[in-house]
Structure 1
């Protein structure tokens, strides 16, 4: 079992795992764990990493200066023109306008200090659903400054939106939650989701796993199944983009949980108080699952990248006792890094550091 140690404890006896330069900020990485082999892992608070919400287009969300009797199509055209004018010093990143229908399909604006954007997507009424506005963004990238710009757009007295009404009627369809693990590569971890059906694994040129996706049930539109959770190497991801690794030479893995939400439990207001979503996932240290002998356990996990349990056992020639032990360990019985009751206490901090709390507070 992991042992929680204080952030100020001396690590002089753990020479292979020195404090990285720069060290993760304590307020965002409040948990420090010592693994079974002495490795030190710092666990971040969960942060919202993607947010998608829909709003029914009704007169209730029209801005205060919208003329009486305006149709939905007229409002969409006006809203699109407004957004396409780059309000509040935003940057145009793309739009699609159907001239024959006089209808905007979407407008995407850049805002915030980082490489971030907000997409406004307008869908027409169908037999199954009313006309809707979909707003998609990445809270982690947008940050507090970006959310202030978004709120300025929604609350612009001369604009097309009634900001408070928009936010009160917003329903979240998807929110991704990210937890960073500083001190471990993706290859050092084992993960399990209760609804997983298959996996996708991407291995780098060094033979080490860079990305692992756990998929749900397949469908016609998504043969591999929708992604339930992803684990990827943040350092390698940033290096490929020409950026510095987040914590110098120290490896860092990001765990992203995809949570879909449905009515009547998906109002934007409920995001701050939603129940712990990590009950469906277990992420633990590979060598901390109690499987022995460790060399065979590593071989088993490596072969499971492309084979099922039965084929792996046959290839390794393991007896029934060891086969049962490895099958149990593969379900991550010791999820010391990410699971229910471990990470969720820091959700308030995640909302604050990204600025999503500003959006939640603006609807009151």
Structure 2
């Protein structure tokens, strides 16, 4: 059965056209009728990028013929040294098309490679051989949304080229931990310039704008200034990023998913040391943040006047912008300023009950299921049978 589509219409363009886009209804968290002609749609949260660390401790203990701790530790050391060497060999092989040395560097890991996913605009980042013995021997980072369910199978194929018949891909995840997970919420039919983000702990907002299309990105810095040059180089960047997703897709040469409809992404990056199997218990990632939109004002309080005022306030500051508004207009709308913005876009009550739905539909669901499985089911008949294949 095909998904039921939810149709939204954007404001008329200067040419008189009304852009439209269809959204699968099961992706919609809620919508807001801002005016009789404008409906803002908020989608369910999605996992954008996740970074995982792997020790394979449970799998190696299960596969090691002896149960003695010293034997298990020796097996683990031998196994991972073999993996480190195999990664280097595969990445250095000129005939190997799907495993390449990466241009990115992950701190405290000596080797980082790109695992290419055929037929998809997706790459997983694999880092091995840590500089400290206390660190996990393997780190894997990938875009969950780009990878897709077929991408998980391709990751398993890349792993089988590195680890030849020792520890199966599905057995790696019982001890896997999350180091970072990026949770994104998409807002449709609302320009990024009309989205106001507030957090009392924020003291600086750094924004990037295009001369042709206007505001595109907001980064937020917390009240912990760099002592040397707090106005030029604030160091405490928050875990929140807001950007124009439609413009990002165009910049990468891709067709915007929702055509001409405005598409803003709000993304929170959570640092963690939690086991992967606890991902369903992740708490609401936007705690402390308010996401507000312009309200619809009755005549004579034309909304465009107040949009101009708030655009000016962002650049000049509130008091300086207020001085630019003619007094007769200010008197009409001053008492409505506290009602002009409504915080009904993203909040815990509206989007976080859908977190379980996100996981059920996500491509990471398969790995998440493996992380909660029994090794007897993942590796049937293989207990105590680990024998290394010489590279």
Q: Normalised by the size of structure 1, how large is the TM-score?
A: 0.75
Aligned partner (choices 286, 307, 315) of residue 306 of structure 1: 315
Seen in structure 2, the aligned counterparts of structure 1 residues 19 and 150 have a Cα distance that, compared at 3 Å, is farther
In structure 1, the partner of 2:23 is: 24
Matched, 1:184 2:184: no
Cα pair distance change 1:207/1:147, threshold 3 Å: closer
Residue 250 (str. 1) matches residue 261 (str. 2) = yes
> In the alignment, what sits opposite 1:237?
248
SS of equivalent residue, structure 1 residue 277: coil
Matches within 5 A, 1:192-341: 192-206=198-212, 208-216=214-222, 223-261=234-272, 263=273, 266-287=274-295, 297-309=306-318, 312=321, 334-341=342-349
The 1:337–1:61 alpha-carbon spacing in structure 2 relative to 1, beyond 3 Å, is farther
RMSD of the TM alignment (CA)? 4.2
The answer to whether the Cα contact below 8 Å between 1:229 and 1:256 also exists between their aligned partners in 2 is: yes
Tell me, yes or no, if the aligned pair for 2:41 and 2:188 is still in contact at 8 Å: yes
Contact 1:112 1:143 in 2 (8 A): no
Query: What's the CA shift string for 1:197-242, capped at 9, x where partnerless?
Result: 321212222362122222335677x845334222222222222222
Distance 1:71 1:7, change over 3 A: closer
With structure 2 as the length reference, what TM-score do the two structures score?
Answer: 0.70
Larger Rg: 2
Which range is displaced more, 72-81 or 350-359? 72-81
Structure 1 residues not aligned, in runs of 5+? 1-5, 97-102
After TM superposition, the structure 1 stretch with the greater mean CA deviation from structure 2, 151-160 or 196-205, is 151-160
2:85 corresponds in structure 1 to 78
Q: Which residue of 1 aligns with 2:376?
A: none
Deviations for 1:69-116, whole angstroms, at most 9, x for unmatched residues? Answer: 744762342341476489xx97234248xxxxxx95112111264211
Question: Are the structure 2 counterparts of residues 58 and 359 from structure 1 closer, same or farther at C-alpha, using a change threshold of 3 Å?
Answer: closer
Per the alignment, residue 152 of structure 2 pairs with: 147
Structure 1 residue 275: Cα displacement = 2.2
**1:100 aligned partner:** none
Deviates more, 1:74-83 or 1:171-180: 74-83
CA deviation after TM superposition for structure 1 residue 141, in Å:
0.5
Contact 2:57 2:76 in 1 (8 A): no
Tell me the residue number matched to 1:34: 33
C-alpha distance in 2, partners of 1:84/1:15? Answer: 50
Compared CA separation, residues 311 and 8, structure 1 to 2 (3 A): closer
| Distance of 1:61 and 1:303 partners within structure 2 | 61
Using the alignment, how far apart are the partners of 1:313 and 1:171 within structure 2?
50
Distance 2:62 2:86 in 1: 10
Q: Report if aligned partners of 1:28, 1:349 keep a CA contact under 8 Å in 2.
A: no
Unaligned runs of 5+ in 2: 65-71, 104-108, 227-232, 374-391
